[in-house]
Amino acid sequence: MAQVLRPLKTTFLNYQDPNLIVGLDESDDAAIYLVSPDIAVIQTIDFFPPVVDDPFLYGGISAANALSDIYAMGGDVKFALNVAAFPEDLNSEILGEIFRGGAEKVREAGAVIVGGHTIIDREPKYGLSVTGFVHPDKIFRTNGARNGDVLLLTKPIGTGIALTAKQQGMYDLDEVIESMLFLNKHISTLAQMYDVSAMTDVTGFGLAGHCLEMAESSKVELVIESHKIPIFTDVVDLIKSGVVTGGGMRNRNQLSSQINNLDELNTDESGFLLDLLFDPQTSGGLLIAVSEFDAEKLFDDIKNTNGNCWRIGYVAHESSDINRGTLLIK
């Protein structure tokens, strides 16, 4: 993706808008633009082909996934535009159910759909362009993680493996669908009350990929305690039986060199762990770096308000020059 964006960065190299807070130079979840001393606009877009057979559920999952970028940056969703592609012969009732699923999820977020755009394509695709607001002093970024911070994760991982196994008739998706439909809104709001230094949502690069983004942009080393990672039921067995995803393999091939103890993990016994950690997630949880002092309080607040949360690791207390921007998996 960095190579794809390089021409855009060159085009705007000498153009600096003082009100642009987050743009092409950042590895964050959305763009942010200052419009007043108290309001910054967050803008994001995301869409993808169906991940489940039910069109209503597909619409809801895709919408939740797109909305999550706003929550990952500490924002409040205001409105959204539908983005859709579909074959000419697609039953209009199916398309209507996709839109209805998305609309219900946007309404749950306390926002509205104000329009959109559709095109004809061979394969259905659906998502949202989402606009949110955030106070400029309350933006969450990926680049603020500090030595000694605790890492929290708010959803299990393994959606990519599970969805692939479902296509092969090997998996019941009920648990995964419930998780993908869950909005990260409330947890983002709670995070504003604590000493959170960095936050992102776990999606296409997998847990390891998004940890590496945070480590690299913060210039620290992240330590993941693999035995503490929440995993959807039976996903490890699926990996060991040979179920993998193309996206996961690409993530692993492109990013695994930044794992400090890679040689220890490239074994028959623990090789499955890399497939799991680089598995692309759909509508994944929030990865939160929070001070050790506030970690337990935020953890309890999330759990006590019907959210899920796991303590999965920490930012190394000291990061040597050679280890900054890397990941250690225990």
**Degrees (nearest 5) of the Cα angle 215, 217, 218?**
65
SS3 228: helix
SS3 at position 225: coil
Higher pLDDT pick, 4 / 271 = 271
User: What per-residue confidence (pLDDT) applies to 287?
Assistant: 98
Reported as a single tens digit per residue, the pLDDT across 31-84 is 999 999 999 999 999 999 999 999 999 999 999 999 999 999 999 999 999 999
Tell me, what's the pLDDT at 83?
Answer: 97
CB atoms within 10 A of CB 53: 10
HSE-CB of 175 using CA atoms within 13 angstroms: 14
Q: Which of 18-27, 75-84, 121-130, 307-316 has the least mean pLDDT? A: 18-27
Instruction: Judge whether residue 320 has pLDDT over 80.
Output: no
pLDDT over 60 at 14, yes or no: no
pLDDT grade for 321, boundaries at 50, 70 and 90: low
**What pLDDT, on a 0 to 100 scale, did the predictor assign at position 322?**
56
- Residue 142 near residue 27, CB atoms below 8 Å: yes
**41-55, 234-248, 262-276, 287-301, range with the lowest pLDDT:** 262-276
Write down the pLDDT at residue 268: 55
Lowest mean per-residue pLDDT among 69-73, 132-136, 199-203, 265-269: 265-269
Q: Which domains does the chain have, with CATH numbers?
A: 2-138 (3.30.1330.10), 150-329 (3.90.650.10)
Stretch 325-330: mean pLDDT, rounded? 76
Separation of CA 228 from chain center? 19
Give the mean pLDDT of 89-94: 90
Backbone angles phi, psi at 73, to 5 degrees: -105, 10
What's residue 30's pLDDT?
Answer: 86
CA trace torsion 82, 86, 91, 93 (10° rounding): -10
pLDDT higher than threshold 90 for residue 258: no
Bridge partners of 259?
Answer: 327
